[in-house]
Amino acid sequence: MDYKDYYKILGISKTATQDEIKKSYRKLAVKFHPDKNQGNKEAEERFKEIGEAYEVLKDPEKRKKYDQLGVNWKQHEQAGGAEGGFDYAQWAQQQGGRRQRSQQQSTSGFEGSDFSDFFNTFFSGGYGGGGYTNARNIPRKGQDFQADLTISLADAYHGTEAMLTLDGESIKATIPPGVKDGQTLRIKGKGGKGSGGQEPGHLYMKVTIKPDSTFERKGDDLHCDVHVPLYSALLGGKIAVATLKGTVHITIPKGSQNGKVLRLKGLGMPHFGKKQEFGDLYARIVIDIPQQLNEEELSLFQKLANLRPVS
């Protein structure tokens, strides 16, 4: 039975913090998830390894045991482990404590597959007398799931609902208003089922917001171009502007220059988790020059030009 380097599997150092462990696990789980790698046996095995490594390193007690095991692994080999005949209970007793071995268990939330013999030998049992413990009877929190969701900017503004299918179960996910691109939402209790009365895992859903053809988002502020007729820019007036909240009418100041930016307070994105709080909309004026002028219009513009000769 080979020693498994869980730190190497997750691509982290042995001094990694719990946050670093979780971050690396989530990134790798998304990359090698079976839904993204259908028919890829190598990716499936990597997914199982990643889950097994996280199962140990996320738990401070299991991590401590694993680190101690790493220090004594050479002694394990010398005791016969490398040949498959090693009695771990006897080896553990020599270290000052007796541990039990367990039968092979099924993971919760990892496609019904089993952890490796290495995991079952060293981490599925408890302390105490001899014999074997069925790992299926050990209370265990359900496995967390990962999912990706792509929505429009309008959906992010108003909030929306999405139906996901995970592990054969349909899950309705509620997306609150103001969610940001790349934000990860936790849907409590929608991960793998727990065992022994333990709570289920959670669903961590990463949200991607599609680029919008009209608005550019910067934080909770929105930016857009507003096309203004030349006459309205010169003389001032009101024009209709489409916003994510609906159409509004804004006043164009007399003599507005091309590129002038108007701030429309409260017409940006909702602040995530804060009701009735919004960013602003910044509208950049783009002056539209009239096309296909008739003779009379050209004559009038010529008169204006003569009144204001270019120096």
Whether the Cβ atoms of residue 109 and residue 145 lie closer than 8 Å to each other: yes
DSSP string covering 238-307:
EEEEEETTEEEEEEEPTTPPTT-EEEETT-SPBPTT-TT-B--EEEEEEEEPP-S--HHHHHHHHHHHHH
Superfamily holding 145-209:
Urease metallochaperone UreE, N-terminal domain (2.60.260.20)
R_g over Cα of the chain = 31
The whole-number pLDDT of residue 191 equals: 84
Domain with CATH 1.10.287.110 in the chain: 6-137
| Alpha helix ranges (H) inside 72-225 | 73-78, 88-94, 117-123, 153-158
CB 125 within 8 A of CB 100: yes
Is the pLDDT at 105 greater than 60, yes or no?
A: no
Domain with CATH 2.60.260.20 in the chain: 145-209, 216-307
| pLDDT tens, residue by residue, 4-48 | 889 999 999 999 999 999 999 999 988 998 878 888 888 888 988
**CA 286/CA 77 separation, integer angstroms:** 75
Of residues 78 and 211, the one with the higher pLDDT is 211
Mean pLDDT of 133-154: 78
Predicted local distance difference test score (pLDDT) of residue 4 = 83
Residue whose entry in the numeric block shows the structure tokens 């042995």:
14
CATH of domain 216-307: 2.60.260.20
Across residues 230-252, what is the average pLDDT? 95
Banded pLDDT at 72 (limits 50, 70, 90): low
Which residues neighbour 300 within 8 Å (Cβ) at sequence distance 6 or greater? none
Instruction: Report how far residue 106's alpha carbon sits from residue 112's, in angstroms, rounded to the nearest whole number.
Output: 6
Greater pLDDT, 138 or 276: 276
The CATH number that domain 6-137 falls under is: 1.10.287.110
pLDDT of residue 88 exceeding 50: no
Give the pTM.
Answer: 0.56
